[in-house]
Amino acid sequence: MTCLILASFLFTVKYAQQGRSKELWRAAALAGLAASTKYNAVLIALPAIAVASGLGFGPSHKHMPHGRISRLMRFGLTVLLAFLAGTPFALISLKSFLAGFSQEFSHLMSGHGILIGRGWAVHLTTSLRYGLGLPLLIISIGGLVWMARRATRSAVLVALFPVAYYAMIGRGYTVFVRYMLPVIPFLCLTGAWASVRFGSALASSIGRPAKTTWMALLLSALIIAPSAWNMIQIDRLLATADSRLLAAEWLRTNMPASATIFQTGSLYSHVQLGVPALSPRSEEWEFDEGKGQFMRKGTRSPAPPDFIIVLSSPLELYTPVPPGLDIILTRDFRLVQRIRAFDPSANSSVFDRIDAFFLPLSGFGGTERPGPNIDIYRRYVPDP
């Protein structure tokens, strides 16, 4: 989605600079494909519409009003055809498409599992704050304001999509950090614009205007240093084995083929058992918190499972532990394996609290690998 958005914007800028119609149609086709990938990407059509409308964002178009209208109609048709090429289902089953679209919008507005605030605030203080890094976020927003004062038309063209997108996405209570990915490149553009001009001002202030490039490079390096460090840390951690892979390997070696397993947490956090040579029998098990007993296919099980996997992480939405399970573990089970992914006492870690991404956005000191902490218990069978 983000790639197609940027490609569409690139051709919009080329159209604004050169006035060649083929650049407009390319921008339209890419906008339609972007919308086919994620529906809200259709907002990338706004900059092209502004240019095609002859509102002063590009070369002067010597067209009568009806020519402008014709151009906009062809642009809209191209966007629609490109969208349908990628999503023919929208035309084949329009009723189902509209119902699904409505469901997605309702999900955006109502929240995902837990409410942590409306998107306008959460994305600014978390998604962009830790996704970009504070220095880069500050200079990017400041650069947009500065550009609006110094190069108003360019600022409007750059800001149309990210501002409209942020306004729409921010309305809801479903606030995945990844929702801000399409906004980041546009903020980087305004941040770069500001860095170059700050570099020029610094070079002039020391009487060395010829050093503008070096000043801009130095300033940029300082601005992106915190973000670069986080990138290095997360890449390092992603290169290590996930705790759930280590747990699966241990079970493959130590678990009898006929053994049954119960896992705490949600499907998104579970050790993947449905792989060759590893029993998938955990799917039948549930735990009735009210009665404090295990269920199999909706029926009370006369005996507990052979193994219990307890998952824990800062993502409480995906790794809840049923109340009362600790009593059963103490009474009937013994701990046979413990795999650590993070230090629970590391309070500096910042996570996307509603997404099943088991690495922090910032504060990596207590993190050893991706995944939740895993304790594997085996049912204790006393000697006869």
Is 41 or 57 the better-scoring residue by pLDDT? Answer: 41
- From the list 172, 176, 173, 147, the residue with the least C-alpha distance to 160 is 147
> What pLDDT score was predicted for residue 258?
80
What predicted TM-score, i.e. pTM, was given to this entire model? Answer: 0.88
Given a cut of 60, whether residue 66 has pLDDT beyond it is no
Rounded CA-CA distance 157/29 in Å is: 19
Mean pLDDT confidence for 300-305 = 82
pLDDT (0 to 100) of residue 157: 94
| pLDDT band (50, 70, 90) for residue 70 | confident
Say whether 261 sits in a helix, a strand or coil. strand
Strand order in the sheet with 285-288: 285-288, 293-296, 299-300
Beta bridge partners of 350: 362
Pair of tokens at residue 384: 């006869």
Compute the average pLDDT of residues 327-346: 92
CB 59 within 8 A of CB 19: yes
Average pLDDT of every residue of the chain: 90
Q: What stretch of H or E contains 52?
A: helix 45-52
Measure the CA–CA gap between 301 and 149, rounded to whole angstroms. 70
Overall average pLDDT of the 90-116 stretch: 93
Helices (H) and strands (E) in the chain, counts: 14, 7
Averaged pLDDT, 173-197: 95
Residue 309's φ and ψ, nearest 5 degrees, are -105, 120
Which pLDDT score is estimated for 30?
Answer: 98
When pLDDT is cut at 50, 70 and 90, the band that residue 292 belongs to is confident
Interval 347-363: pLDDT, tens: 789 999 999 999 999 99
